[in-house]
A and B are shown apart, each in its own frame.
Chain A
Amino acid sequence: MPAGHHRLNPCRRKPMSKNFDNDLISRLYRKIRLIRRMEEVVAEIYPSDKIKSPVHLSIGQEAISVAFCDPLRRQDVVSMTYRGHAAFLAKGGSPSGMMAELYGKRDGVAHGIAGSMHLVDMDNGILGASAVVGTTIPVAVGYAMAIKMRGEDRVVVCFLGDGATEEGVFPESLNFAALHGLPILFVCENNGLAIHSPLSNRWAQPDLCRRVEGYGVETHRFEDMDTIVLRAWAAERIEAIRTGASEGPIFAECPTYRWLQHVGPNDDHDQDYRDAGEAAHWRGKDEVARLGDALAPDMRSAIDEEVEAIIAEAVAYAESSPFPQPGELNVGAYA
């Protein structure tokens, strides 16, 4: 069976049972709704050229970040990809600091130096992202090693894409993390595309988990992108790593789908490199709508209003923040 077959699975998902913990669902919905709307607003603003940074939107993929960040503590650490808005916001990064960063403003999380592709927030346990695929994987492993050396009970969650598994540092990092039993959970967001290249052009052995297991790493492959299912598994495995009940590393492969173009604010299904039917399939089981539908309408609209207020504040913050002055160019080139 070709890699990425999960995308061909029919959608059998039922509406969420009302028995689920309402607090959990409202918490997850608040996050996923914030991420979706932030990125929709970024896409709306983008044609104005106020956002002076390439943006790789995670629209359609948000559930994975939301599910895996929800069980984390503030002092736990995530490492994310350049498609990192979702992980940044899910881990507690500031929406205003992010928007100002995308605008290139001084009050951005990195004072306008980082832009979208290098978002960072160490106070909230968010390691800076890299535009060079896979580069952050060993950095996350090194952070996990420091945690273990110091005997702390923190955990690292390292998000990576399917393309990153093709970089040499991926197997090197798996081997080293397994050799030292490091407290790290690797989460592969498999959207089946490296820019425009499908897995069938890239993987001789489509069973990624089997490859990872070869390094002595526990793996789990999800068949679908269900926020509640992902979250329950993540909470259990993260706690196991934290308490030492299970030695890290652990690897999870999560199927997902990128709704928009690789970089930029638009849909590109007219470009003829992927199947419009897939898009309809994935849009039909949108996790933002599904979590929202599971809430009482008044609760949902209250959260929606709250989210819109946060985003409006973020945009206003970004608009009003000054640009750095040319004289600040050298600031921080050396520590």
Chain B
Amino acid sequence: MTAYKEAVRLGIARAMRADDDVFLFGLDVDDHLGIQGTTLGLAEEFGAKRCFGTPLSEDAMTGVAIGAAMAGMRPIHTHIRMDFLLLCMNQLVNIAAKAHYMFGGQVTVPMVARGIIGKSWGQGAQHSQGLHSLFMHIPGLHVVAPATPQDAMTCMMASVADNNPVVFVEHRLLYNREGPVDISAGASTIGKGRVCREGGDVTIVGISNMLHDALKAAALLEQANVSAEVIDPIWLAPLDMDLITRSVEKTGRLIVADAAWTACGASAEIVAAVAERVPGVQVARIGFAPTPCPTTPSLEKAFYPDAVTICVAAMRLAVPEASIPPFAAMAEDMQQDPVFKGPF
């Protein structure tokens, strides 16, 4: 079994071994903590020329990645929290996303921008945001949010090999989650999602860390005789709409659970795209409460949805007349999610 953070590191290392033009940079990628372990040892293996820390300067460093990519390199730019990607928006949106099209196909921008969604231990308003939908909105960008160690490695390899700029969404709570990793596996297919659990009553799409809440919800719902199909979209741009549509055509009900707000979010996009394809579909979106994220645990708990939130939504869609079972108490008997303690 391999932890997600180690799988991210393996994916980067394999991409760097495969192609000398790949380099990794960003604040603290070469320090003793190595971005929570995801970059540890890379400076030693590949040298300071291919793994180096930068001044903060997120805006200019994104431009540097773009310029290097235009010159034929394949940079991986790392941000210890996704919130810092807001400082990179001009470069990502106005140049990286558009360069291939706007410059008549004369250049490509093969770069990866890694951003980590924080959660728990008081991450607060500016270390917790899931901003992937901002990038899904922009033609020219690919967005990926792997939820398992295996996908973390293979999606990293696919992202580095992609000739388009990729926003690579990680989640802090996934880092210690372990799973089997076939280290001989090749790069994943861009835009390909996966059915993680089959079911007939309701489709639950779980994005990033919410995939695991969706799987937990499906197990709880089984005890209430509701059969849930769980889908990991893996790639948010492009979205595997064929996969999701096929599932909803079977179940007629769709819940999208996101590690982000719902308004104009990935959940809104998936629900809308399915509604265009499947007449009469019943839908629900699940995401952060529409507030900034609070630091104090008592409010933080109210801010985040979880498996129970998903279960309640599924019951209302699938068996609206039934009373809601005590899912929270039932969940206590299940294996608890991995957590982390601060400060990082």
Contacts and interface: CB of A to CB of B under 8 A. Distances in A.
Interface of A: 108-111, 113-114, 118, 120-122, 127-128, 130, 132, 135-147, 149, 168-169, 172-173, 175-176, 179, 331-335
A140, A172, A179: most-surrounded residue (chain B CB, <10 A):
A172
A145 B107 contact: no
Contacts of A169: 57, 59-60, 63, 91
B163 interface: yes
Nearest to A329: B101
A120 B99 CA distance: 10
Interface string B5-23: 0000000000000000001
Contact of A333 (B70, B91, B110, B140): B140
Interface in B91-108: 91, 94-95, 99-108
Nearest to A140: B67
A110 B102 contact: yes
A118 B116 CA distance: 33
B139 interface: yes
Contacts, number: 141
Contacts of A332: 100-101, 104-105
Given A175-B55, A333-B139, A127 B68 contact: no
Contacts of A143: 67-68, 70-71
B57 A142 contact: no
A121 B107 CA distance: 10
Instruction: Classify chain B's interface size.
Output: 35 or more
B99 A128 contact: yes
A176 B54 contact: yes
Interface of B: 23, 49, 54-55, 57, 59-73, 75, 90-91, 94-95, 99-110, 139-140, 142, 163-164
B104 A108 contact: yes
B108 to A, nearest CB: 4
Given A130-B95, A169-B63, A333 B104 contact: no
25 contacts: A109-B104, A110-B103, A113-B104, A114-B102, A114-B103, A114-B104, A121-B106, A128-B103, A137-B63, A139-B70, A139-B95, A142-B66, A142-B67, A145-B64, A145-B67, A146-B68, A146-B73, A169-B63, A172-B59, A173-B64, A176-B55, A176-B57, A334-B100, A334-B142, A335-B163
A128 B100 CA distance: 10
B68 A110 contact: no
Given A138-B59, A149-B49, A172-B55, A122 B64 contact: no
Contacts of A139: 63-64, 66-67, 70, 91, 95
Contacts of B23: 149
Contacts of A176: 54-55, 57, 60-61, 64
Given A114-B102, A120-B106, A335 B164 contact: yes
Contact of B106 (A128, A141, A145, A179): A128
